[in-house]
Structure 1
């Protein structure tokens, strides 16, 4: 039975050596130099011996890259009954098109069905001869000394110095070390002089290049323990049964798999309790909670693999296994599903999904330095943002965060980041419109993705900055928006877990159901209330999600099981549609009801700012004067009746409703469904004709776009914008909308 300790006593801990500490030689930054560690051969028990070499990351040469043909080129060579699909790892797979029986496996092939040629042959001579290691630093303590040899010394020669290594890295190196030949790797803790702040800044800035140029990436999950061998075997087998293609929108089985039925979502996984326990333990390892691994994994190529003790699995197979498990309708518990979904977020390939969604996911991860909440996400950022931010670990945390917010506005013209603000969860100084990303967000109370909300539609933010009156560096952000009401009632906060949730929601009922109809949307108050409790996750809005309830079903369930319930003795079914954990209930003088993670106060203003996907609560700043009213950002809300651009455009016409439609396998976008005509369109029926001075372009999403975007070109200047000109402030004012300015401090 493996030891329960995080670092099993598989080898005798070496005593400290009587050698001077290794002194790093300076890197030549003009040559884009990095250090590579050479792990010298040895047995598992022998002391770790290493050398350091300087390697220049020469500019990438496009001529050194040979790519396979495009999907469209290959499709032209296929018979009519075959289709070629692109897997998540970039490989092509061929599938015969025909009517399959419900349990019949798909006929697939990695080889061209006519020529028998594998089209997946490519090479990249820009790769360098080192492996990138992805691992967790782990806490300090029980460090051991590695011997450092001079670069030109023979492998069996005497060491000239030593270097301390933390236990998790030492365990990794012992498992990775060959017995007979050296191994070259890039390892951040060793290859960056951690005491040299300027060097750290430089190396973090080129981190993407370091992992992209590695021959492949090795993921170290930790030593063998808690039946990890069983978990690795189960996931390896599952990954061999399913392939995901078309950016996650299509699932098929690879050729020659032994259990193709496991690729189907309706087929449960055949795991006993012990196997599920082993998989749960594996997914709870700290590697999955680390921020930097996201970038390291997404830059890894198809030869990369994961190592847990002596057991390995290719990164591709692990990704396929996790995706397959996440699709299953039946899993042993919500905890397991949550761990699997967290792993899916880590394993998603680079895609065109909005950067802020990537940032939001990454900010749920852990890192030692709070500045890395931004610096660790730059690998996913649009180039324009990366160019504006140079890592500098000497800057105060609030300055790093403020610089990012300004760069985000300049590049994307959106205020999505305001959804992360919470006036009660701040440890940094500075303006309240700058979120404190250093404060961790618990899984149970994470905000829904801001990108599923459309309070401001595809409008661009209209902002300006100025220094506060006292002349300090604190900036005031002037933002355009619409006033939607003043908070007149605040309900008690719901708990972060299921216990006590129903009792808390019960206390909101009197205010929520005080009238038969909900005035802002002219629907039954009970329907509005249950939609609020579900944060809009109802099947009318998400028709592809069969597990969701319809609004009438949720209202009926509330009436049958919930409204008459004393305490929390309610079926598990009731808890599934209620998503308002750790939230306050609010009501405004204009009749709106909503919820917020941040603590509201009576008198807070409810506003929709242009470019911000959620309605915000802002609070008059005590230092304001009658001549200069300023506000502090309290936090984002889910406000029923304001989530679909109603503040700017009014309600949808009779017979229309919002539907979320699949844009790819990873995310959905806002569409409009006409009940009377039974048709779906991306065009908002509330918007009129395009302005004559603007030319509409095809809105093909790129990684540089915000979630809610459009594409227009000025006929006069030829400038292209990522927003809808019909939602510009002057256009809104011409519709009678009172667009004001809010000074946020």
Structure 2
């Protein structure tokens, strides 16, 4: 029993042909009888499109996951088999016409697969309805689906006291089960669902076991339960007269929020996967798409069976302008390419849109020797090279999977950029070899010494006096980019105290606000004693009460202190070492650490020195664009062309 018993007929790609699965009615325990037919999207065929999780690989020897397709045995995944069994019309009903990627695309034909994936935006947009399959039911899911109708009701509906109490009780009883369903089911982590949901022209149907509900009801229930639950635990804020927001208990939060009410009077300080899906759905409906770098950020926790689908699964959501070859590098869908080439195509596109430096500044970069995710199905004749250092591993963009810290840790407070007024400049292009990035920037200095910040809080505190002493000595070193810059450089180096530099000058639990001056006292207390009295024995209450110490704790294993030959100092990724250079790439809010390569690269028949991209950094005294605005823009400092591989 195998795929060989069924033979696909070729599709006419130029005629926009697709295959449609017909699922015939039957009793729950009957074998699944299906047929395949071809249809042209241009003729507006009637079908539903299934959105589901593939799950475990197909087991051709499992008779319990085999359907009959055009009279032939056809093995499918257990997830798809269950979906078809639950969606099958009852005896006497009308056949159900479905588009299901695993069956309607010949997965063994890489050329057809590439062509059909490129059409998926149109396929889901053409479907009469998108059917979302969350999986088999359980006690929690049944309780949630049974309660949704009572939780979601028209705002004009008047409840008496008893009805209101019943509704409140339902929300309390279902909140845990609802969020377990809405945030932990594998469907919500799948990258393809972003496109499948966003392109739906009508309200999708959400099915779980034998129960189903409209997506609009599902998302409305999420907002209602979120508002009720998060209000109780102080994670909701209201508008105040100055246009800002405050929590319902009157305190002012520091983080951004997402709406949970139509009038924007209440905002919730939590964003679950389901909220992200709805945000993206709105973006497609209102703006016809989104930029790739934003999509990659939105989907960073999403997963795919094929790592290349971390890119291909998002292309149908791109804003129309990004698909114009005259305005952008258009990413070709080609499943004959290795992962490194696909990810490089994605970053090339982002650079062609003028968003490359900023994107790299917040990514988890791969380091100087990172292998790309391997594709077992590629022929052995196709090489699968490692990732260029400027190409993030897009399948590892969360802290638990990444090999080194995110550049976000080194970002200065909001509104500040090492590139100064040039933050939004269009900078960078990928050369024809697909592995060399050419960018313009400033060569700041060479790293002379690196000091790891330790593996524990106590070891970090023990190093503070030495680090403070070295930073003070560095400020006294004479350094300039020309005689007329000496006074400015000395001013820059004395601009920011070390205690701010060590934490990227950001407040605890805020990616936007500058560290308050009250942190200085906490730093001085640590500096004046080699071992903090809180140390390893400090209580949780004590730790929570000292935000600066908590900021420093985040440095452990994630950051290294460095000093340059000319007296600059800062923090950088742990992989940095002596001899690396500190650079500013125009358009990035943070400096980058580059490593000179021992050989050269050929560019336009000329040999050029090139570098490896090690990671992001934070450099004291220049994070507000001082070198760019006051030296480079005043013709007191020359730019450098960097070639990065």
TM-score (norm 1): 0.62
The alignment status of 1:616 with 2:592, answered yes or no, reads yes
User: Which position in structure 2 is the counterpart of 1:739?
Assistant: 639
1:190-228 CA-partner distances (Å, limit 9, x unpaired):
111111111101001111111111112111111112622
Q: Structure 1 residues 28, 465: closer, same or farther in 2, change over 3 A? A: closer
User: Which position in structure 1 is the counterpart of 2:610?
Assistant: 630
- Note if contact 2:341-2:434 (Cα within 8 Å) is conserved in structure 1: no
Q: How does 1:246-257 map to 2 (within 5 A)?
A: 254-256=155-157
Q: Structure 1 residues 362, 538: closer, same or farther in 2, change over 3 A? A: closer
CA distance in 1, matches of 2:627, 2:582: 11
The alignment status of 1:526 with 2:499, answered yes or no, reads yes
CA distance in 2, matches of 1:415, 1:206: 30
CA distance in 1, matches of 2:105, 2:458: 53
1:495-540 CA-partner distances (Å, limit 9, x unpaired):
8xxxx5x456546644564468996473443344445465892674
Structure 2 unpaired stretches of 5+: 162-167, 236-267, 373-385, 476-490, 602-606
CA distance in 1, matches of 2:525, 2:137: 50
User: Which position in structure 1 is the counterpart of 2:377?
Assistant: none
User: Which position in structure 2 is the counterpart of 1:198?
Assistant: 111
1:289-336 CA-partner distances (Å, limit 9, x unpaired):
211111111112442122222233322233344456667366699xxx
- Note if contact 2:356-2:428 (Cα within 8 Å) is conserved in structure 1: no
User: Which position in structure 1 is the counterpart of 2:164?
Assistant: none
Structure 1 position 592, deviation (Å)? 3.5
Q: 1:215 aligns with which of 106, 119, 128?
A: 128
The alignment status of 1:434 with 2:391, answered yes or no, reads yes
Structure 1 position 163, deviation (Å)? 1.2
Could you tell which deviates more after superposition, 177-186 or 517-526? 517-526
CA distance in 2, matches of 1:54, 1:211: 16
Q: How does 1:421-460 map to 2 (within 5 A)?
A: 421-423=365-367, 426-428=370-372, 429=386, 431-439=388-396, 441-442=398-399, 447=406, 454-456=417-419, 457-460=422-425
- Note if contact 2:595-2:614 (Cα within 8 Å) is conserved in structure 1: yes
User: Which position in structure 2 is the counterpart of 1:667?
Assistant: none
CA distance in 1, matches of 2:186, 2:30: 27
Q: Structure 1 residues 460, 275: closer, same or farther in 2, change over 3 A? A: closer
CA distance in 1, matches of 2:398, 2:339: 18
- Note if contact 1:519-1:591 (Cα within 8 Å) is conserved in structure 2: no
Structure 1 position 739, deviation (Å)? 1.7
Structure 1 unpaired stretches of 5+: 1-15, 60-125, 150-159, 242-252, 261-266, 468-472, 542-549, 651-730
User: Which position in structure 1 is the counterpart of 2:36?
Assistant: 52
Structure 1 position 162, deviation (Å)? 2.2
Q: Structure 1 residues 50, 465: closer, same or farther in 2, change over 3 A? A: closer
Q: 2:439 aligns with which of 476, 479, 483?
A: 479
Q: 2:450 aligns with which of 490, 496, 505?
A: 490
Q: Structure 1 residues 530, 415: closer, same or farther in 2, change over 3 A? A: closer
SS at match of 1:370: coil
CA distance in 1, matches of 2:124, 2:158: 32
- Note if contact 2:407-2:617 (Cα within 8 Å) is conserved in structure 1: no
Q: Structure 1 residues 165, 478: closer, same or farther in 2, change over 3 A? A: closer
User: Which position in structure 2 is the counterpart of 1:724?
Assistant: none
CA distance in 2, matches of 1:539, 1:394: 42
Could you tell which deviates more after superposition, 295-304 or 578-587? 578-587
Q: Structure 1 residues 268, 355: closer, same or farther in 2, change over 3 A? A: farther
User: Which position in structure 2 is the counterpart of 1:583?
Assistant: 558
SS at match of 1:312: strand
Structure 1 position 24, deviation (Å)? 1.6
SS at match of 1:607: strand
User: Which position in structure 2 is the counterpart of 1:173?
Assistant: 84
Aligned length: 530
Could you tell which deviates more after superposition, 355-364 or 23-32? 355-364
CA distance in 2, matches of 1:461, 1:316: 40
Q: Structure 1 residues 182, 360: closer, same or farther in 2, change over 3 A? A: same
CA distance in 2, matches of 1:236, 1:646: 58
Q: 1:369 aligns with which of 292, 296, 306?
A: 306
Q: Structure 1 residues 520, 536: closer, same or farther in 2, change over 3 A? A: farther
User: Which position in structure 2 is the counterpart of 1:114?
Assistant: none
CA distance in 2, matches of 1:131, 1:493: 56
Q: How does 1:222-621 map to 2 (within 5 A)?
A: 222-225=135-138, 227-232=140-145, 240=152, 254-256=155-157, 271=172, 275-276=175-176, 279-280=179-180, 282-323=182-223, 328=230, 341-348=272-279, 349-351=281-283, 354-383=291-320, 385-386=322-323, 387=325, 388-412=330-354, 414-419=356-361, 420=363, 421-423=365-367, 426-428=370-372, 429=386, 431-439=388-396, 441-442=398-399, 447=406, 454-456=417-419, 457-463=422-428, 473=433, 475-492=435-452, 502-503=457-458, 506=461, 509-510=464-465, 513-514=468-469, 520=493, 522-532=495-505, 534=507, 537=510, 540=513, 551-552=516-517, 554-555=519-520, 563-567=532-536, 569=538, 570-571=540-541, 573=544, 580=555, 583-589=558-564, 590-596=567-573, 599-621=575-597
User: Which position in structure 2 is the counterpart of 1:131?
Assistant: 48
Q: 1:145 aligns with which of 66, 70, 85?
A: 66
- Note if contact 1:482-1:608 (Cα within 8 Å) is conserved in structure 2: yes
Q: Structure 1 residues 384, 278: closer, same or farther in 2, change over 3 A? A: closer
User: Which position in structure 2 is the counterpart of 1:711?
Assistant: none
What root-mean-square deviation, in Å, do the aligned CA atoms of Structure 1 and Structure 2 show? Answer: 4.1
More helix by proportion, 1 or 2?
Answer: 2
- Note if contact 1:530-1:555 (Cα within 8 Å) is conserved in structure 2: no
SS at match of 2:134: strand
- Note if contact 2:609-2:643 (Cα within 8 Å) is conserved in structure 1: yes
- Note if contact 2:561-2:571 (Cα within 8 Å) is conserved in structure 1: yes
CA distance in 2, matches of 1:309, 1:594: 52
TM-score (norm 2): 0.71
Structure 1 position 494, deviation (Å)? 7.3
CA distance in 2, matches of 1:362, 1:624: 36
CA distance in 2, matches of 1:505, 1:412: 39
- Note if contact 2:23-2:95 (Cα within 8 Å) is conserved in structure 1: yes
- Note if contact 1:226-1:278 (Cα within 8 Å) is conserved in structure 2: no
